[in-house]
Amino acid sequence: MEFRILGPLEVVEDGEPVALGTLKERLVLGVMLLHANEFVSRERLIDDLWGEAPPPTARQAVNVYLSKLRKALGRAGADPIATASGGYRLHVDPERLDASRMQVLVVSARESVSKGELEHAAERFREALALWRAPALAGLQLESRGRDEVAQLDELRLAALMDWIDCELALGRHEQALGELNLLVREHPLRERLRAQQMLALYRADRQAEALEAYAEARQTLVNDLGIEPSEALQRLQQAILLHDPSLETPEGTAAVNGLAP
Protein backbone atom coordinates (compact mmCIF):
# COMPACT_ATOMS: atom_id res chain seq x y z
CA MET A 1 0.00 0.00 0.00
CA GLU A 2 1.38 3.39 -1.05
CA PHE A 3 0.68 6.61 0.86
CA ARG A 4 1.09 9.95 -0.91
CA ILE A 5 1.00 13.40 0.68
CA LEU A 6 3.17 15.35 -1.78
CA GLY A 7 0.06 16.64 -3.50
CA PRO A 8 -3.56 15.68 -2.83
CA LEU A 9 -3.81 12.89 -0.25
CA GLU A 10 -3.82 9.48 -1.93
CA VAL A 11 -3.65 5.89 -0.78
CA VAL A 12 -3.00 3.38 -3.55
CA GLU A 13 -3.17 -0.41 -3.42
CA ASP A 14 -2.18 -2.50 -6.45
CA GLY A 15 -2.34 0.60 -8.62
CA GLU A 16 -5.89 1.47 -7.57
CA PRO A 17 -6.89 4.41 -5.32
CA VAL A 18 -8.39 3.56 -1.96
CA ALA A 19 -11.63 5.40 -1.09
CA LEU A 20 -10.92 7.43 2.05
CA GLY A 21 -14.31 8.78 3.06
CA THR A 22 -15.20 12.26 4.28
CA LEU A 23 -13.06 15.38 4.40
CA LYS A 24 -12.53 15.05 8.16
CA GLU A 25 -11.42 11.44 7.78
CA ARG A 26 -8.93 12.52 5.14
CA LEU A 27 -7.69 15.29 7.43
CA VAL A 28 -7.09 12.77 10.21
CA LEU A 29 -5.14 10.53 7.86
CA GLY A 30 -3.16 13.53 6.61
CA VAL A 31 -2.07 14.41 10.15
CA MET A 32 -1.19 10.79 10.88
CA LEU A 33 0.95 10.61 7.73
CA LEU A 34 2.76 13.81 8.65
CA HIS A 35 3.77 11.85 11.76
CA ALA A 36 4.03 8.36 10.31
CA ASN A 37 5.30 5.80 12.84
CA GLU A 38 4.98 8.36 15.65
CA PHE A 39 2.46 8.62 18.48
CA VAL A 40 -0.23 11.22 17.73
CA SER A 41 -2.44 12.21 20.64
CA ARG A 42 -6.18 12.60 20.31
CA GLU A 43 -5.79 16.21 21.48
CA ARG A 44 -3.33 16.86 18.68
CA LEU A 45 -5.80 15.55 16.10
CA ILE A 46 -8.55 17.72 17.57
CA ASP A 47 -6.26 20.75 17.42
CA ASP A 48 -5.30 20.15 13.79
CA LEU A 49 -8.89 19.52 12.71
CA TRP A 50 -10.69 22.35 14.52
CA GLY A 51 -8.07 24.71 15.89
CA GLU A 52 -9.21 26.84 18.80
CA ALA A 53 -12.93 26.09 18.40
CA PRO A 54 -13.49 22.32 18.57
CA PRO A 55 -17.08 21.11 18.97
CA PRO A 56 -18.15 19.48 22.25
CA THR A 57 -18.25 16.12 20.44
CA ALA A 58 -14.69 16.39 19.06
CA ARG A 59 -13.26 13.44 20.99
CA GLN A 60 -16.05 11.12 19.94
CA ALA A 61 -15.82 12.40 16.36
CA VAL A 62 -12.10 11.62 16.16
CA ASN A 63 -12.79 8.08 17.38
CA VAL A 64 -15.41 7.67 14.66
CA TYR A 65 -13.08 9.02 11.96
CA LEU A 66 -10.32 6.61 13.00
CA SER A 67 -12.75 3.70 13.04
CA LYS A 68 -13.90 4.49 9.51
CA LEU A 69 -10.33 4.92 8.30
CA ARG A 70 -9.45 1.52 9.71
CA LYS A 71 -12.35 -0.01 7.81
CA ALA A 72 -11.38 1.76 4.57
CA LEU A 73 -7.76 0.64 4.81
CA GLY A 74 -8.84 -2.81 5.98
CA ARG A 75 -10.97 -3.28 2.87
CA ALA A 76 -7.78 -2.65 0.89
CA GLY A 77 -5.97 -5.33 2.87
CA ALA A 78 -4.14 -3.29 5.51
CA ASP A 79 -4.64 -2.31 9.14
CA PRO A 80 -1.76 0.08 9.91
CA ILE A 81 -3.45 2.19 12.63
CA ALA A 82 -2.70 1.13 16.20
CA THR A 83 -4.42 2.54 19.27
CA ALA A 84 -2.19 3.75 22.09
CA SER A 85 -3.05 5.35 25.41
CA GLY A 86 -4.66 8.68 24.53
CA GLY A 87 -3.88 8.51 20.84
CA TYR A 88 -2.86 6.55 17.78
CA ARG A 89 0.11 5.43 15.72
CA LEU A 90 0.12 4.87 11.95
CA HIS A 91 2.66 2.23 10.94
CA VAL A 92 4.03 2.90 7.46
CA ASP A 93 7.07 1.48 5.69
CA PRO A 94 9.11 4.61 4.84
CA GLU A 95 9.55 3.22 1.32
CA ARG A 96 5.76 3.36 0.97
CA LEU A 97 5.41 7.05 1.90
CA ASP A 98 6.38 9.57 -0.77
CA ALA A 99 7.48 12.23 1.74
CA SER A 100 9.92 9.82 3.38
CA ARG A 101 11.36 8.73 0.03
CA MET A 102 11.72 12.36 -1.02
CA GLN A 103 13.64 13.27 2.12
CA VAL A 104 16.02 10.31 1.71
CA LEU A 105 16.72 11.32 -1.90
CA VAL A 106 17.38 14.94 -0.93
CA VAL A 107 19.84 13.88 1.77
CA SER A 108 21.59 11.61 -0.74
CA ALA A 109 21.74 14.42 -3.30
CA ARG A 110 23.28 16.84 -0.81
CA GLU A 111 25.86 14.27 0.21
CA SER A 112 26.80 13.92 -3.47
CA VAL A 113 27.14 17.70 -3.76
CA SER A 114 29.52 17.70 -0.80
CA LYS A 115 31.65 15.10 -2.61
CA GLY A 116 31.64 17.07 -5.86
CA GLU A 117 29.50 14.44 -7.62
CA LEU A 118 27.21 17.00 -9.23
CA GLU A 119 25.75 14.84 -12.00
CA HIS A 120 24.70 12.20 -9.48
CA ALA A 121 23.36 14.91 -7.18
CA ALA A 122 21.30 16.49 -9.96
CA GLU A 123 19.76 13.11 -10.78
CA ARG A 124 18.85 12.48 -7.14
CA PHE A 125 17.28 15.92 -6.85
CA ARG A 126 15.24 15.24 -9.99
CA GLU A 127 14.03 11.93 -8.54
CA ALA A 128 13.01 13.66 -5.31
CA LEU A 129 11.23 16.50 -7.06
CA ALA A 130 9.38 14.11 -9.39
CA LEU A 131 7.52 12.75 -6.36
CA TRP A 132 5.71 16.07 -5.96
CA ARG A 133 2.34 16.31 -7.73
CA ALA A 134 1.16 19.59 -6.16
CA PRO A 135 1.59 21.40 -2.82
CA ALA A 136 1.63 19.01 0.14
CA LEU A 137 -1.84 17.74 1.11
CA ALA A 138 -3.41 20.02 -1.49
CA GLY A 139 -7.12 20.48 -0.88
CA LEU A 140 -6.91 19.77 2.87
CA GLN A 141 -6.93 22.72 5.27
CA LEU A 142 -5.27 21.79 8.53
CA GLU A 143 -5.32 24.06 11.56
CA SER A 144 -2.65 24.89 14.13
CA ARG A 145 0.66 23.00 13.95
CA GLY A 146 -0.52 20.84 11.08
CA ARG A 147 -0.67 23.88 8.83
CA ASP A 148 2.90 24.79 9.77
CA GLU A 149 4.14 21.27 9.10
CA VAL A 150 2.59 21.27 5.64
CA ALA A 151 4.31 24.59 4.96
CA GLN A 152 7.63 23.06 6.08
CA LEU A 153 7.22 20.26 3.55
CA ASP A 154 6.57 22.77 0.78
CA GLU A 155 9.61 24.73 1.92
CA LEU A 156 11.71 21.58 1.65
CA ARG A 157 10.59 21.22 -1.96
CA LEU A 158 11.63 24.80 -2.74
CA ALA A 159 15.02 24.29 -1.07
CA ALA A 160 15.58 21.11 -3.09
CA LEU A 161 14.62 22.95 -6.28
CA MET A 162 17.17 25.68 -5.57
CA ASP A 163 19.85 23.09 -4.80
CA TRP A 164 19.05 21.26 -8.04
CA ILE A 165 19.33 24.52 -9.98
CA ASP A 166 22.76 25.11 -8.43
CA CYS A 167 23.81 21.71 -9.78
CA GLU A 168 22.46 22.51 -13.23
CA LEU A 169 24.29 25.84 -13.29
CA ALA A 170 27.54 24.26 -12.12
CA LEU A 171 27.19 21.64 -14.87
CA GLY A 172 26.73 24.35 -17.51
CA ARG A 173 23.04 23.70 -18.12
CA HIS A 174 21.94 27.29 -17.60
CA GLU A 175 19.51 27.31 -20.53
CA GLN A 176 17.66 24.29 -19.13
CA ALA A 177 17.49 25.87 -15.69
CA LEU A 178 16.05 29.17 -16.91
CA GLY A 179 12.55 27.89 -17.63
CA GLU A 180 12.13 26.59 -14.09
CA LEU A 181 13.82 29.66 -12.63
CA ASN A 182 11.51 32.10 -14.36
CA LEU A 183 8.48 30.27 -12.95
CA LEU A 184 9.96 30.12 -9.46
CA VAL A 185 10.85 33.82 -9.42
CA ARG A 186 7.24 34.67 -10.27
CA GLU A 187 6.01 32.41 -7.47
CA HIS A 188 8.59 33.61 -4.91
CA PRO A 189 9.60 37.14 -5.92
CA LEU A 190 11.27 37.94 -2.58
CA ARG A 191 13.68 34.99 -2.62
CA GLU A 192 17.08 36.50 -3.31
CA ARG A 193 18.73 33.15 -3.93
CA LEU A 194 16.34 32.52 -6.81
CA ARG A 195 16.98 36.01 -8.13
CA ALA A 196 20.74 35.40 -8.03
CA GLN A 197 20.39 32.08 -9.82
CA GLN A 198 18.24 33.72 -12.49
CA MET A 199 20.77 36.51 -13.00
CA LEU A 200 23.66 34.06 -13.26
CA ALA A 201 21.81 31.80 -15.69
CA LEU A 202 20.91 34.75 -17.92
CA TYR A 203 24.49 36.03 -17.87
CA ARG A 204 25.90 32.64 -18.82
CA ALA A 205 23.37 32.44 -21.64
CA ASP A 206 24.95 35.62 -23.10
CA ARG A 207 21.97 37.71 -21.97
CA GLN A 208 23.80 40.26 -19.84
CA ALA A 209 21.24 43.02 -20.35
CA GLU A 210 18.42 40.72 -19.19
CA ALA A 211 20.50 39.67 -16.19
CA LEU A 212 20.84 43.31 -15.18
CA GLU A 213 17.13 43.86 -15.79
CA ALA A 214 16.44 40.91 -13.48
CA TYR A 215 18.48 42.64 -10.77
CA ALA A 216 16.59 45.91 -11.28
CA GLU A 217 13.28 44.06 -11.00
CA ALA A 218 14.45 42.27 -7.85
CA ARG A 219 15.53 45.54 -6.28
CA GLN A 220 12.24 47.25 -7.13
CA THR A 221 10.25 44.38 -5.63
CA LEU A 222 12.28 44.39 -2.41
CA VAL A 223 12.03 48.16 -2.05
CA ASN A 224 8.30 48.27 -2.80
CA ASP A 225 7.26 45.23 -0.74
CA LEU A 226 9.69 45.29 2.18
CA GLY A 227 11.27 48.73 2.12
CA ILE A 228 14.79 47.26 1.92
CA GLU A 229 17.64 47.20 -0.56
CA PRO A 230 18.98 43.91 -1.97
CA SER A 231 21.54 42.07 0.12
CA GLU A 232 25.23 42.82 -0.31
CA ALA A 233 25.65 39.45 -2.01
CA LEU A 234 23.07 40.27 -4.68
CA GLN A 235 24.60 43.71 -5.18
CA ARG A 236 28.05 42.12 -5.62
CA LEU A 237 26.63 39.76 -8.22
CA GLN A 238 25.19 42.71 -10.14
CA GLN A 239 28.60 44.41 -10.11
CA ALA A 240 30.31 41.22 -11.27
CA ILE A 241 27.87 41.00 -14.19
CA LEU A 242 28.49 44.64 -15.09
CA LEU A 243 32.25 44.00 -15.12
CA HIS A 244 32.06 40.65 -16.94
CA ASP A 245 33.89 39.08 -14.01
CA PRO A 246 35.52 35.86 -15.33
CA SER A 247 34.68 34.02 -12.11
CA LEU A 248 31.00 34.00 -13.13
CA GLU A 249 31.79 31.41 -15.79
CA THR A 250 33.24 28.92 -13.30
CA PRO A 251 31.73 26.48 -10.79
CA GLU A 252 32.95 28.88 -8.11
CA GLY A 253 30.66 31.48 -9.63
CA THR A 254 27.74 29.16 -9.01
CA ALA A 255 28.90 28.51 -5.46
CA ALA A 256 29.06 32.24 -4.83
CA VAL A 257 25.28 32.61 -5.01
CA ASN A 258 24.83 29.99 -2.29
CA GLY A 259 25.74 32.54 0.34
CA LEU A 260 22.39 34.19 -0.28
CA ALA A 261 19.61 33.41 2.14
CA PRO A 262 16.92 31.17 0.60
Pick the last residue of a domain from 62, 93, 124. 93
Domain-located, residue 200 = yes
Question: What is the pLDDT, as a whole number, of residue 255?
Answer: 53
Q: What is the mean pLDDT of residues 175-187?
A: 94
Choose one of 58, 93, 128: the last residue of a domain. Answer: 93
Q: Check whether 253 has a pLDDT greater than 70.
A: no
Domain residues for the domain of 68 are 2-93
How many domains does the chain divide into?
A: 2
Residue 64 CB neighbours (<10 A): 15
How many CB atoms within 10 Å of residue 184? 21
Q: What is the pLDDT of residue 85?
A: 86
CB contact at 8 A, 96 and 3: yes
9 in a domain, yes or no? Answer: yes
pLDDT in tens, 206-217: 999 999 999 999
Domain membership of residue 261 (yes or no) is yes
Percent of the chain clearing pLDDT 70 (strictly above): 95
Could you tell me if residue 180 is inside a domain? Answer: yes
pLDDT tens column, 118-136: 999 999 999 999 999 999 9
Report if residue 186 sits inside a domain: yes
Say yes or no to pLDDT of 261 above 50: no
pTM of the shown model? 0.89
Question: What pLDDT, in 10s, does the model give residues 64-84?
Answer: 999 999 998 888 777 789 988
Residue 106 inside a domain? The answer is no
pLDDT of res. 251? 61
Answer with the residue of higher pLDDT: 206 or 252: 206
Averaged confidence pLDDT in the chain: 92
Question: What is the reported pLDDT for 144?
Answer: 83
